[in-house]
Amino acid sequence: MRTLYPTIEPYREHRLAVDAVHTLHVEECGAVDGIPVVFLHGGPGAGVSPTHRRFFDPARYRIVLIDQRGSGRSTPFGELRDNTTAHLVADIETVREHLGIERWLVFGGSWGSTLALAYAQAHPERATGVIVRGVYLGRAEENRWFNEADGGARWIFPERWARYEAHIPEGERGELIAAYWQRLDSPDQDVAIAAAQAWLGWEDHAATLVHDVEARSHADPLATLAKARIEAHYFRHHAFLEHGQLLQGVDRIRHLPAVIVQGRYDIICPARSAWDLASAWPEAQLEMVLSGHGATEPATADALVRATDAFADRIAGPVRA
């Protein structure tokens, strides 16, 4: 099985103001004259990490990573003003223009898959291909699956669900996303942080096929609050997309080479969404792997590295021994 490429450092970092409020952190890694690829992180609100650079051969790729609005090292941290899917799509295009890149491979996982599809469909002439992992299409039923009491995830992780649900009084549990949002948006910081820790306590440790159901996060409370607020902001607005928009828009990108990598036992973004996307896009290559949601689980990392290597072979020819 393929593993991630070795750790690398950026060769250039940017602070890019995209409007009067938001300034993005952008980094470039790998080969200055390599095949351009943009990495779109999950969350929403998670930010990029050094691991994200390692899905691409640094000798062949010019790797661009963007902290989305309110995320990671972009500022203001946790900001929700002018923070929608349309804004993020426009930001990706602003980054491309700023870096002087004509076209690039679009790569995203989890929420990043949503954004990758939305961007490629808005700007198909700027994409050379699409690689997505852990597919999330922004549909209400996907949000309900993982975050509401009538969803299915609670049947898989009952121990964690009990803690997530217990944070909300019984009378408000019919709409948990809305109930959590009320607390995440509270002017009382203690109330908001407690809700954020319960929200991400449910999500963060459900990402891998094998995990400790009792594990708890020790992340910085304010960072936890920022991520939870951005997630709930997007979920309560159904990712600022029309229902089925990303499936209906496949015709705009079906000419592009595409790989869909999906963990068979992904509980956060279940396999149905990847199947629906592949059914609408039969030209894309769907690879179901024996893993959960995490991008670095062995089977998922193997499939993603094989996909990026194959794309590089297609563009520049295979590496010679």
**Other C-beta atoms lying within 10 Å of the C-beta of residue 72:** 22
Query: Looking at 71, 74, 110, 291, which residue is catalytic?
Result: 110
The residue annotated as part of the active site, out of 41, 52, 233, 293, is 293
> Alpha carbon 154 to chain centroid distance?
22
| Residues near 172 by beta carbon (within 8 Å), at least 6 away in sequence | 178, 179
Instruction: Look at residues 230, 279, 272 and name the one whose alpha carbon lies nearest to residue 115.
Output: 230
C-alpha 38/C-alpha 50 separation (Å) is: 14
| DSSP single-letter state for residue 58 | T
How many whole angstroms separate alpha carbon 255 and alpha carbon 170? 49
Tokens, residue 72: 């990671």
**Residue in this structure with the two tokens 């972009």, named with its chain if needed:** 74
CA pair distance 122, 120, nearest whole angstrom: 5
67 catalytic residue (yes or no): no
Q: What's the CA gap between 85 and 91, in Å, rounded? A: 10
CA atoms lying within 13 Å on the CB side of residue 245: 20
Q: Are 285 and 310 in contact (CB under 8 A)?
A: no
Largest CA distance in the chain: 65
- With residue 304 as reference, give the H or E element that holds it: helix 298-316
- Distance between CA atoms of 230 and 315, rounded to whole angstroms? 36
Catalytic residue among 266, 273, 291, 309: 266
Cis-peptide, bond into residue 44, ω within 30° of zero: yes
User: For this structure, is 266 an active site residue?
Assistant: yes
Which whole-number Å values give the CA distances from 41 to 113, 226, 251, in the listed order?
Answer: 8, 15, 24
**Catalytic positions, please?**
110, 266, 293
